[in-house]
Structure 1
Amino acid sequence: MATQAEPDGTARPVPGIPARRLWAPEIDFGAIRTELGTPPDFSAEALAEAAAPPADHPRIDLTDVPFVTVDPPGSRDLDQALHLVPDGDGFLLRYAIADVAAFVRPGSALDRESTARGVTLYLPDGRIPLHPPVLSEGAASLLPGQVSPAVVWTIRTDADATPRDVRIERATVRSTAQLSYPEVEAGARPEALTALAAFGAVRAERVLARGGIELDVPEQDIERTDDGGWKLVLRAQAAAERHNAQVSLLTGECAAALMLDAGIGLLRTLPPAAPEDVERLRTIAPSLGVDWPADATPGRVVASVDPADPRGAAFLDLAAALLRGSGYTPFTDGAPEQAFHAGVGAPYAHVTAPLRRLADRYATEICLAIHAGTPVPEWVHAALPGLPAVMAAATRRANEFERAVVDLTEAVLLADRVGEQFDAAVVDVAGEGKSGTVALDDPPVWARCAGPGLRAGERLRVRLLDADPTTRRVRFARA
């Protein structure tokens, strides 16, 4: 059952998200690959390079630190391993990141072919990896018991998670355990996670206090059933997942600070919400039962909303307009004009997922050079101007795959139920209520719906008009 966090970080069932889920037989996701296009297989040259030993960089030995990884169940491309413990009144974080640059030689076939991919694409029946699995799920992955090359961030913070000492260096590490979010939620607490819950709560409050915005909306996921079919589930982030995300966010903020001080880097940026978008959301809040105190920031209000409530879900859907315009900003001669990430509430950089995201390899090398007081490698300089376009195209492609997969699954699940009625909630409207989007209670489908008179947040019965797996179209009308 989906969960959401209480203020103390514990999890509770999300009301309104039913345990019963609809099942479907085998779904052919290959048609999506054909339609949207996938990169060619890695060349023999790239595969050989991926299987070669890593570059012989100087490293410190941190194999005695009992790092652990925390990821979704079944993950093999493990970018991050952490060790987070109390340190006086504050925290001591050691964060090991897969050292992908040690395996990918600049200008090589592997470099060119991973650049053409940009990101790992995830589909229910398999992934289209950024790097060959022999690297991303093998030698470079921080698998338990494996001695691995890594880039380790060591960050000491004050009680409010403000960094006061930051180091980044190449190291050799050995993860002691691979944990999943459900396992951590169930109580797995090795030494490495001693301070995770406390750190995550302090960090989340710090982000809100400086005006950051985090949308915690349950996501549609497709999962295998025990008998080989597929089911559509609505998954809310567990507390452990949110706390773990704060580790990555703090590291990205430290990376951004290094880059800005040095006048060279690659930031992940997001402009502040447009005043008219904030005012539009503030105006509609009362009609959706959302309290917006006069002195409350948008982030505080968003954090107070229950995503399981239909009116809350509608409000959060509208709040997504506050987080438009993200991108990558390279700079080589002083701080750029746009250096802020409004969602994080601070400058921020992507450095913690290099197995799955191309930009992180470059940003990490910049930080290593800055901290060591050495010049940033020329291959990084040369690539910086083109990286925003590469990452924008890769992100767009990933979003297309994700939407197509969900649309196809919804259409297959509902194909034999045309004419049936369902309980739903309206999450947005268009054309003065003549049409909109509804979220079904069961199965957890979001689809277009015809009015008339639709109102955001309204509970209603809808009738299924069409569910076509060929076009991946699902349509409803007010019953």
Structure 2
Amino acid sequence: MPRRHLRVRAADAADSARIHSELDQLRARLEIPGDWPPEVLAEAEQAAATAKLPGYDATELPLFTLDPPGSLDLDQAMHLARRPGGGYRVHYAIADVAAFVRPGGALDAEARRRVQTLYFPDRRVPLHPAVLSEGAASLLPGEPRPAVLWQIDLDPDGATVLADVRRATVRSRRRLDYGAVQVAVDSGHPDPQLTLLAEIGLARELQEQARGGISLPVPEQEIEATADGYRPGYRAPRPVDGWNAQISLLAGMAAAELMLDAGTGLLRTLPAAPESGYARLRRCAHALYVPWPPALPYAALIRSLDPHLPHHAAFLNECTGLLRGAGYHAFDTARGLPAPADPGHAALAAPYTHCTAPLRRLADRWAQEICVALAAGEPVPSWVGDSLAEVPALMAGGERRAHEVERACVDLVEAELLRGREGEDFDAVVVDLDERRPEVGTVQLTEPAVRARCESAAGHHLPLGERLRVRLTRADPATRTVRFAPA
């Protein structure tokens, strides 16, 4: 599920100190892992110093990475080429975390406890120690690194015709960031690799549309300081963000097909959304003045939106609610673990697995090991088979914690945004009601983009799906509480 990325930019030092103090208290309440145990750090440093490089040398590939500016935990690197006779060849290198993590060791146990990297407005809590995630295991430029290397051949329309994967030693040449790449492409004079990234990304987006898949261009939400307090803003994703995502999805779909053919693997699945979810979105569209004619399919609506527009950006964030049924399904027919009856991912309209972010997500290490073994015609490592059935529950717990972190951070930032504005009236729409108490529900403000609880007087039902003026009655960052009542 796409995350709402939050950055807090405080107006002054006092505001900054207060927000960071509140976030520290939040981390303590949620029991978020803090400092690394000494035995974990010792094992990570030993692994960084002694890890062996794979025998297959692919360092001649001039790979490049594409990440936000300043990122050091670089999971993926790519090289793109045209195939003789038409089509494309994608080389996609993924950090080989298994080269550093000993099954059953202290580092492995700590990763299973953390499950995934957590993101707060002011910092991130990583899955692996920095000596690995930002050092020896990261695909930093100029450094030989162990990697899981995919070669995926595409036809001229971007459809996969061949996929293979193996361990390899790689060396990235360049560390690029999204903004600089977009500027280069927009200038009309990008280098050949970036030209190919745009071509392949667009071709894969057309393939996704043909399948009936939907990629949400979810904006990054920023809370900006102004003279009057805090105000939400959005950074709309660039086209290059989508092209890069398509390369990652390409590897994840190739991995899923490999697993399904072999009868063993770990899929990321998502059932089709219920009609009630679409009904809720229609109410949100109404609230945010997003036209949605009854005959217009949801996928076509999403592609018609401009994430640069604030009301479209807010609506796209609401659309992430349709992805909440996603989960992991482990299967191994030889061990009696059945494959899912429906192995598809509804948002992608294809089977899919997570395998491209092992520095930040636990499950990807299992997926990588399975794919490498299957492609080589070798048995899956025993530690993978013995623990495969445990991974979905581990990931479910980690995702619940990540959702709790996200919700708590959003609540805190929204309370900070509205602090001191009690008694002020806002335009809103009722997007949800309590089935047992219809005087209680949820309102979506049209400006700023806030969702919060609203309670009317007893016996006065809130008008579901209708606009109304609401009055802010409470905005308390200490309890992360925002409350409204009809004005």
TM-score by length of 1: 0.84
In the TM superposition, what is the alpha-carbon distance from 1:392 to its structure 2 partner? Answer: 0.6
1:196-244: per-residue Cα shift (whole Å, max 9, x none)? Answer: 1222222122212212233334342458x89xx9985423222111111
The runs of 5 or more residues in structure 1 that have no matched partner are 1-20
Supply the AA of the counterpart residue of 1:428: V
1:295-314: per-residue Cα shift (whole Å, max 9, x none)? Answer: x6532333224456687568
**Aligned twin of 2:3:** none
- Structure 2 vs 1, CA of residues 410 and 312 (structure 1 numbering), >3 Å: closer, same or farther? closer
Which of 289, 292, 295 is equivalent to 1:290? 292
- 8 Å contact kept, 1:69–1:179: yes
- Structure 2 vs 1, CA of residues 185 and 120 (structure 1 numbering), >3 Å: closer, same or farther? same
- 8 Å contact kept, 1:118–1:394: yes
Identity of aligned residues (%): 50
- Structure 2 vs 1, CA of residues 56 and 35 (structure 1 numbering), >3 Å: closer, same or farther? same
- 8 Å contact kept, 1:467–1:475: yes
148-157 vs 85-94, which deviates more? 85-94
Corresponding residue SS for 1:419: coil
Corresponding residue SS for 2:420: helix
Aligned residues: 451
**Aligned twin of 1:441:** 447
In the TM superposition, what is the alpha-carbon distance from 1:342 to its structure 2 partner? Answer: 0.7
- Structure 2 vs 1, CA of residues 194 and 427 (structure 1 numbering), >3 Å: closer, same or farther? farther
Q: Please show how residues 31-430 of structure 1 align to structure 2 within 5 Å.
A: 31-39=25-33, 41-51=35-45, 52=47, 53=49, 55-56=51-52, 58-87=54-83, 88-187=85-184, 189-221=190-222, 232-274=232-274, 277=277, 289-293=291-295, 297-306=297-306, 316=316, 319-320=319-320, 322-333=322-333, 335-422=339-426, 424=427, 426=429, 428-430=431-433
Corresponding residue SS for 2:202: helix
Distance in 2 (CA, whole Å) between partners of 1:461 and 1:184 is 44
In the TM superposition, what is the alpha-carbon distance from 1:386 to its structure 2 partner? Answer: 0.6
1:350-404: per-residue Cα shift (whole Å, max 9, x none)? Answer: 0000000000001000000000010000000011101001001111111111221
Distance in 2 (CA, whole Å) between partners of 1:34 and 1:175 is 38
In the TM superposition, what is the alpha-carbon distance from 1:411 to its structure 2 partner? Answer: 1.7
The runs of 5 or more residues in structure 2 that have no matched partner are 1-8
In the TM superposition, what is the alpha-carbon distance from 1:466 to its structure 2 partner? Answer: 1.6
**Aligned twin of 2:6:** none
In the TM superposition, what is the alpha-carbon distance from 1:107 to its structure 2 partner? Answer: 0.9
Distance in 2 (CA, whole Å) between partners of 1:448 and 1:197 is 43
In the TM superposition, what is the alpha-carbon distance from 1:145 to its structure 2 partner? Answer: 2.1
397-406 vs 191-200, which deviates more? 191-200
1:413-472: per-residue Cα shift (whole Å, max 9, x none)? Answer: 3322323345x5537243679643324535x544344577656485x7654322101111
TM-score by length of 2: 0.83
Q: In angstroms, what is the RMSD of aligned CA positions?
A: 3.1
- 8 Å contact kept, 1:25–1:230: no
- 8 Å contact kept, 2:219–2:313: no
Corresponding residue SS for 2:256: helix
- Structure 2 vs 1, CA of residues 318 and 77 (structure 1 numbering), >3 Å: closer, same or farther? closer
- Structure 2 vs 1, CA of residues 457 and 213 (structure 1 numbering), >3 Å: closer, same or farther? farther
- Structure 2 vs 1, CA of residues 70 and 454 (structure 1 numbering), >3 Å: closer, same or farther? farther
141-150 vs 107-116, which deviates more? 141-150
Supply the AA of the counterpart residue of 1:436: T
Distance in 1 (CA, whole Å) between partners of 2:192 and 2:144 is 19
In the TM superposition, what is the alpha-carbon distance from 1:158 to its structure 2 partner? Answer: 0.9
Distance in 1 (CA, whole Å) between partners of 2:388 and 2:447 is 46
In the TM superposition, what is the alpha-carbon distance from 1:173 to its structure 2 partner? Answer: 1.7
131-140 vs 181-190, which deviates more? 181-190
Q: Please show how residues 2-41 of structure 1 align to structure 2 within 5 Å.
A: 23=11, 24-26=15-17, 27=19, 28=21, 29-39=23-33, 41=35
- 8 Å contact kept, 1:79–1:142: yes
- 8 Å contact kept, 2:237–2:307: no
187-196 vs 71-80, which deviates more? 187-196
In the TM superposition, what is the alpha-carbon distance from 1:289 to its structure 2 partner? Answer: 2.5
1:249-282: per-residue Cα shift (whole Å, max 9, x none)? Answer: 1100000011011111000011123356557868
